Homo-oligomer: A and B are copies of this chain.
Amino acid sequence: MRIYLAGPEVFLADVEALAAAKRGLCAAHGLTGVFPLDPPPQAPDAAWPDWLRISQANEAHIRSCDALIANLTPFRGPSADVGTVYELGFMRALGRPVFGYTHVARRFGARSLAALGPAARRRADGAWEDAEGMAVEEFDRHDNLMLEGGIVASGGRFEVEAVPPDRRWHDLTAFTRCVAEAARVLGASA
C-alpha cells in the first residue's frame, strides 16, 4: 500500500535525509512512502512551466496512493502550509483515509489571537475579530475546522506532539504514530 507524505519539509535544505527517514518508517510498517519530490507516475507535459509540472506531478502522486499523512504544523503564521492543505483536501475528496499531525500543542484560536496581538478586538457578542472585522475561528481545534473534519470523517487520525522549536521540522514522533495507525487502517503488515 502506498502512502503520500505531504508537508512543508520539501522547503528544507536537508529534505532528502528527512524523506529517507520517513520512507524508512513507512517501510517498517509495511507501507511504501511516496514523497512529493519522487519521480511522478507519468512524466508531466514538458511544455508546461516548472510550477505546473510540479503541481501536476504531485496530484498524480496523490491519485496513485492509498492514503495520505500531512504535516500540519503551523507554517509562517497560525495555520498549516497551504500546499499541504490543498493536498489533504484533494485526497479526502478521493475518499481515501487521511492522517495529520502537528508539533504545536497550542490551539488555533489562541495562536490566531497571539498573531493578531493588539489588533484583536471583541464583537458585541463577545467573539474575537481582527482589524478587518473577520472573526477568529474558535472551535477548540488545531487549525481551521475543515482540516480535522476531513481527517476524522475519513477514518484517519490527527496526532499532536509538542516539539521544541529547534526540532519542529525534523521530529518524527507524531509522524510515526500516524504511520502505525495508517498501517492498521489499511491492513498493511510489515
Instruction: Please tell me if A58 contacts chain B, counting CB pairs below 8 Å.
Output: yes
A47 CB to nearest chain B CB (Å): 13
- Given the interface pairs A85-B86, A92-B90, the reply to whether A76 lies near B76 with Cβ below 8 Å is no
CB-CB under 8 A from A54, the residues of chain B are 145, 149
Q: Which residue from B50, B82, B93, B149 sits with its C-beta under 8 Å from A51?
A: B149
- We find that the number of chain A residues with CB closer than 8 angstroms to chain B is 62
- Given the interface pairs A12-B134, A90-B92, A169-B134, the reply to whether A59 lies near B115 with Cβ below 8 Å is no
Q: Given known contacts A76-B115, A83-B144, A85-B86, what 12 new A-B pairs fall within 8 Å (CB)? A: A13-B133, A14-B133, A49-B139, A51-B139, A51-B149, A52-B152, A55-B145, A86-B146, A89-B93, A92-B93, A132-B169, A134-B169
